[in-house]
Amino acid sequence: MNPGNLCGMDDSGTGIVVRRKGGPLRRLLSRLTSSYQELEAEELLQESQESGATPVVACPDRERVRVAGTLRTVTLRPRAGVPALEAELFDGSGTVMLVWLGRRQIAGIEPGRQLIVEGRIANIAGMRMIFNPKYELRPFGA
């Protein structure tokens, strides 16, 4: 799940940090040979950690969490006859599906937008989900 094995445990053993192996020349060579997706994932993970959020892969099930990342997709999908806005948030370590029940649209919730969200994470059918999360829109380019 970790693209290019960019993540490792931090000193406290509770979170994930970007791994920096080798000297400056090795890191430069690694960046030059990495794919665009690997570089983007590493950058997103670093931004997520700087904002004080927990990486998605380190979020314990059924606990309140704070995650930050970029929305990849936003779709309207009814659940049991009730409208539900679903958005896939990627933070560089993994994805979490955000679901707002009873909403058809939310201003600012669009693909490419960066968010910080808080809520109780659940693992449903192998997919990490947060229902009706509290969210904070981050400025474009931040």
Q: Could you tell me the CATH superfamily of domain 53-137?
A: Nucleic acid-binding proteins (2.40.50.140)
Tokens read off for 56: 């998605």
Per-residue pLDDT, 57: 92
**Going by DSSP bridges, is the β-strand pair 84-90/64-76 parallel, antiparallel, or unpaired?**
antiparallel
Per-residue pLDDT, 139: 87
The candidate with the shortest Cα–Cα distance to 64, out of 79, 53, 74, 77, is 53
* Domain boundaries along the sequence of the chain: 53-137
Q: Helices (H), strands (E): how many in the chain?
A: 2, 8
Residues 6+ apart with CB under 8 A from 105: 76, 85
List the chain pLDDT tens, one digit each, 142 residues. Answer: 334 333 444 544 444 554 555 677 776 666 666 676 776 777 777 777 778 899 999 999 999 999 999 999 999 998 888 999 999 999 989 999 999 999 999 999 999 999 999 999 999 999 999 999 999 999 876 5
The candidate with the shortest Cα–Cα distance to 45, out of 22, 12, 14, 67, is 67
Per-residue pLDDT, 8: 43
Per-residue pLDDT, 44: 73
